[in-house]
């Protein structure tokens, strides 16, 4: 993935997300759960809800910063919604929040985080805050975090033997090493780089 910066470095942007209240879209066909997430987040974020894929796509625009997206929904799945978000080129970060345990099929999905239900209030708030912060990162660093999330998700589900036999996991780990090199080279401040990687 190419960098936004002319020199191709992987450095984090010095610009921060806008000071306005971050906008979050919660997408889940379980209306009670969507409302719960809204109540958890509403004190810190401007939160909208959608109870299906089609409604989510109607509400999605360039002003949405973070999407919490259920993966398994009737009529239009979370995967289909995610594909449409990326096809539109919307600059929002997306976390799947789902009861579907991760498997090798997540490799091609362009999400930023993967939370498995049930989730706690603090976990939901933390992931929204983290994804909002990533809006200020360049593309290589954003991809680093996204690939790291996939690696972590798969490692949590596979036994050590299964991990050693998984071509998908091997490819993700290889890509993660490439991105670590790319982003490391882009940091002028070594201490700042090490601090950033400790947060992952």
pLDDT band at residue 182 using 50, 70 and 90 as cut-offs: confident
Domain that holds residue 160: 138-200
What's the residue count for the chain? 200
173 alpha-carbon distance from chain centroid: 17
pLDDT band at residue 192 using 50, 70 and 90 as cut-offs: low
Rounded percentage of the chain residues whose pLDDT exceeds 90: 76
Average pLDDT for 192-199: 52
Looking at the structure, do residues 104 and 195 belong to the same domain, yes or no? Answer: no
Q: CA-to-CA distance for 54 and 81, rounded, in angstroms?
A: 8
> Does residue 123 lie within any of the structural domains?
yes
CA atoms within 13 A on the CB side of 35: 3
CATH classification at residue 106: 3.40.50.2300
Residue entry with tokens 């360049």: 138
Average pLDDT of the chain?
A: 86
pLDDT band at residue 17 using 50, 70 and 90 as cut-offs: very low
Looking at the structure, do residues 88 and 161 belong to the same domain, yes or no? Answer: no
pLDDT band at residue 179 using 50, 70 and 90 as cut-offs: very high
* pTM of structure: 0.81
Looking at the structure, do residues 127 and 147 belong to the same domain, yes or no? Answer: no
Give the chain's domain count: 2
pLDDT band at residue 61 using 50, 70 and 90 as cut-offs: very high
Q: Where are the alpha helices (DSSP H) in the chain?
A: 31-41, 53-59, 78-88, 121-134, 139-157, 160-165, 167-186, 190-198
Looking at the structure, do residues 106 and 56 belong to the same domain, yes or no? Answer: yes
pLDDT greater than 50 at residue 100: yes
Of 83, 107, 136, the last residue of a domain is 136
Pair 50, 26: CB distance under 8 Å: yes
Beta bridge partners of 87: none
| pLDDT tens-digit map of 166-176 | 999 999 999 99
Of 81, 114, 136, the last residue of a domain is 136
> Does residue 152 lie within any of the structural domains?
yes
pLDDT greater than 50 at residue 188: no
Looking at the structure, do residues 108 and 153 belong to the same domain, yes or no? Answer: no
Q: CA-to-CA distance for 119 and 130, rounded, in angstroms?
A: 16
Looking at the structure, do residues 60 and 103 belong to the same domain, yes or no? Answer: yes
Looking at the structure, do residues 117 and 143 belong to the same domain, yes or no? Answer: no
Supply the pLDDT for residue 69: 98
Average pLDDT for 114-123: 95
Looking at the structure, do residues 75 and 127 belong to the same domain, yes or no? Answer: yes
pLDDT greater than 80 at residue 55: yes
Pair 78, 49: CB distance under 8 Å: no
Looking at the structure, do residues 112 and 129 belong to the same domain, yes or no? Answer: yes
């Amino acid at each position: 993935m190419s960098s936004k910066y002319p020199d191709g470095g992987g450095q984090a942007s010095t610009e921060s997300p806008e000071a306005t209240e971050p906008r979050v879209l919660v997408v889940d066909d379980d209306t009670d759960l969507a409302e719960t997430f809204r109540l958890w987040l509403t004190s810190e974020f401007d939160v909208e809800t959608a109870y299906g894929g089609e409604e989510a796509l109607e509400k999605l625009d360039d002003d949405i910063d973070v999407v919490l997206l259920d993966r398994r929904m009737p009529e239009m799945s979370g995967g289909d919604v995610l594909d449409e978000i990326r096809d539109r080129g919307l600059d929002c970060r997306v976390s799947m929040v789902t009861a579907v345990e991760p498997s090798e099929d997540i490799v091609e999905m362009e999400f930023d985080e993967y939370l498995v239900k049930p989730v706690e209030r603090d976990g939901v708030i933390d992931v929204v805050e983290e994804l909002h912060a990533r809006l200020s990162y360049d593309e290589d660093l954003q991809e680093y975090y996204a690939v790291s999330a996939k690696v972590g998700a798969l490692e949590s589900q596979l036994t050590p033997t299964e991990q050693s036999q998984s071509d998908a996991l091997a490819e993700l780990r290889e890509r993660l090493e490439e991105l670590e090199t790319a982003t490391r080279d882009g940091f002028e401040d070594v201490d700042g780089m090490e601090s950033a990687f400790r947060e992952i």
